[in-house]
Structure 1
Amino acid sequence: MSDISVAKPYAAALFQIAAEQNLLEKIEEDVRAVKDVFSNEGELLEFLEHPKVTKEAKRDLITASFAGLNTQVLNTIFIMIDRHRADSIAAMAEEFISRANEERSIADAEVYTVRPLTEEEKTEVSAVFAAKVGKKTLRIKNIADSSLLGGIKLRIGNRIFDGSVSGKLERLERQLLR
């Protein structure tokens, strides 16, 4: 079974609890932290999936590593570990974030520019492109990329908007080579 099909029921349950308790933002913040750790720390997954490590040792490590995490998030992680689904925790977090974004009509956007954007520029980009993807607002992650030469490039979900100078040059090159 794929990670996402395993992760969806856990994400749905956690999302329902978060919505019922009006803790969607707090739990989403915690889930984002969990996603970052489980996406980047392969050794943690190896430890959690090792058959000789006891459940108590696994729980102790998670409790110590994620001190201050919402108990609902911790309990979801514990259940997934107990059911040998630790490898799907990052996918569960991704699914939860996706549901939370959908609920609030927010989209995550990676914005590539030559220099970091100011807050005012981020707000303007959010206003323009949120409407294009049918959302209220964008949560912008700005990435400085000097190879763009100028302009802006956005990735929102699986859509890419390329208004960069390097992108325009590449398109021009393709047209000329036809």
Structure 2
Amino acid sequence: MKDSFLSAQVLEPYAEALMSLAQSQNLVDRFGEDVSSLLNLLQNSQELQQFLESPVVQEDAKKAVLRQIGGDQLHPYMMNFLMILVERRRVLFLEGIFKQFQARLRKLKQTVLAEVTSVVELTDTQRQSVIEKVKAMTGAHEVELDSKLDPDLIGGVIIKVGSQVVDASLRGQLRRISVSLGRST
């Protein structure tokens, strides 16, 4: 249901409303931080996700948990936004709304999202090198890295920016060698 046409009609207006509020109150960066921390919490807690999405759980219980989680860390406007989502039974779309908000924020700040897959965690020097490579590829002012680990790569990295993929992994190199050997026989 989350990827359906209905969710697309729900995600956009709420993400747009949140961005509009952030811009009108000069809170774009603050909302960006709040959204990132909440998204991180949602993605790392399957229980929280299920709790918020459950139609059986009462509104008041959902609001109480969100208030407890947000505490003093979330901006009051962000907390109000969450309460509205609960009241309108849209909290199950929270992750999607926040991802749409982040996409709008990246566009506003001329930032691109680069998904980097590697065997081990990248060092700061390697991260900076990837950022510079992505900036050169895209012409973006800023680069946001989303790092993932994949032990099957053997070594190297795969960088994905939108539809562009740079496969600098050993697995990719071996695959290319295999294909070129297959053509020459």
Decide: shared fold, TM above 0.5. Answer: yes
Partner of 1:4: 8
- 2:52 corresponds to 1:48: yes
- 2:163 corresponds to 1:172: no
Instruction: Kindly state the Cα deviation for residue 122 of structure 1 after the two structures are TM-superposed.
Output: 1.9
SS at match of 1:93: helix
8 Å CA contact 1:45, 1:86 repeated in 2 = no
Alignment of 1:49-88 (within 5 A): 49-51=53-55, 53-67=57-71, 68-88=73-93
Runs of at least 5 residues in structure 1 that lack an aligned partner in the other structure? none
| Count, aligned residues | 178
Tell me which of 115, 120, 127 is aligned to 2:125: 120
8 Å CA contact 1:15, 1:96 repeated in 2 = yes
Greater RCO, CA 8 A, separation 6+: 1
Q: Deviations over 1:96-137 (max 9, x none)?
A: 001111111111222233443332332222122123123112
Instruction: Kindly state the Cα deviation for residue 27 of structure 1 after the two structures are TM-superposed.
Output: 0.9
Letter in 1 for 2:22: A
8 Å CA contact 1:4, 1:92 repeated in 2 = no
Moved more, 39-48 or 122-131: 39-48
- 2:42 corresponds to 1:21: no
Instruction: Kindly state the Cα deviation for residue 63 of structure 1 after the two structures are TM-superposed.
Output: 0.3
Instruction: Kindly state the Cα deviation for residue 52 of structure 1 after the two structures are TM-superposed.
Output: 5.0
Give RMSD over aligned pairs: 2.3
Tell me which of 97, 105, 108 is aligned to 1:103: 108
| Identity across matched positions, percent | 29
Runs of at least 5 residues in structure 2 that lack an aligned partner in the other structure? none
Tell me which of 149, 159, 168 is aligned to 2:164: 159
Letter in 2 for 1:28: G
* Distance change in 2, residues 1:2/1:51 (3 Å): closer
Partner of 1:38: 42
* Distance change in 2, residues 1:121/1:21 (3 Å): same
8 Å CA contact 1:35, 1:90 repeated in 2 = yes
Distance 2:102 2:56 in 1: 32
